[in-house]
Structure 1
Amino acid sequence: MGKQYLGVKDGSLAECPNSPNCVSTQTEQSDKYMEPLPFHGDLNSTKEILKKVLKEMDRTTVEGEEDQYIHAIVVTKLLRFKDDIEFYLDEADQQVHFRSASRTGYSDMGVNRKRMEAFTEAYYGYVEKEGRL
């Protein structure tokens, strides 16, 4: 496996490491895979929903944003570790790919998966509320 990176390279977020503290919509590791989110409206509408959900998450700040990419940092509640959440808005396939990973340690006791399951639920909640389903 190559060096970890943040951002999008050749249409992909970084692969998850071998440790169990990462989930991604683009990983080939079945135990870390999650389904991508569908676009709702155009790129900008979808991006706004993502940012609304991030804004509601505790201890989360958006650190960087580009046309098709958002990077946020979540500070864990107990030990104050920093985790990275990345979103790649794939306009060609009308999908939002994401990756949530711990920066340090080995096991995260399922925190990244639970976080992104809650994120997915909140995302669909906004979509439904805005009448876009």
Structure 2
Amino acid sequence: MKLFAGKRSNNLGVRDGKLAACPNTPNCVSSQSSDAVHQVEPLTYSSTPEKALANLKQVIQSLPKTKIITETQNYVYAEFTSAIMGFVDDVEFYLDEEAKVFHVRSASRLGKSDLGVNRKRIESIRTKLQETESMV
């Protein structure tokens, strides 16, 4: 059932080294946002960019109801679908090789509040990525 899936935004992707800004609603987090409501730290990595990207994709694919839609050598876009109602969140990762981070943006397509789901998701991915990065 796709009743609550919403429509994919047309502002996804990286433009001039930036992911799209979060809307004024509190159902989005971004590592490139400067306000406290939306700001989340970028994901760090210590391996090579190629290995970090592979690790990130492995983490994303290990999560339930998740589908990678687009991937390039420095960008991953995935859709995360909620288990019960089928709400879809758009989650983007932009690899900044100079800073050795992934900038992230996680945004709900519908509604105003996400009850902290997007922030929790990014923190969960951060933890799993750090665990994967620390494996030999």
Whether TM-score is above 0.5 comes out as: yes
Does the alignment pair 1:50 with 2:56?
Answer: yes
Larger RCO (alpha carbons 8 Å, 6+ apart): 2
The percent of aligned pairs where both chains have the same amino acid is: 40
- For residues 20 and 126 of structure 1, the distance between their equivalents in structure 2, rounded to whole angstroms, comes to 30
Matches within 5 A, 1:1-133: 5-130=11-136
Unaligned 5+ runs, structure 2: 1-8
- For residues 120 and 93 of structure 1, the distance between their equivalents in structure 2, rounded to whole angstroms, comes to 16
TM-score by length of 2: 0.89
Deviations 1:64-109 (A, max 9, x none): 0112100000011121011111000011222111111001111111
- For residues 25 and 4 of structure 1, the distance between their equivalents in structure 2, rounded to whole angstroms, comes to 20
**Residue 44 of structure 1: how far off its partner (Å):** 0.7
User: Secondary structure of the residue that 2:131 maps to in structure 1?
Assistant: helix
TM-score by length of 1: 0.91
CA RMSD of aligned residues (A): 1.4
User: Secondary structure of the residue that 2:18 maps to in structure 1?
Assistant: coil
- For residues 31 and 49 of structure 1, the distance between their equivalents in structure 2, rounded to whole angstroms, comes to 28
Unaligned 5+ runs, structure 1: none
Deviations 1:28-56 (A, max 9, x none): 12122111122322211110010010011
Q: Is the 8 A contact 2:45 2:130 kept in 1?
A: no
Q: Is the 8 A contact 1:4 1:15 kept in 2?
A: no
Question: What letter corresponds to residue 133 of structure 2 in structure 1?
Answer: V
- For residues 22 and 77 of structure 1, the distance between their equivalents in structure 2, rounded to whole angstroms, comes to 19
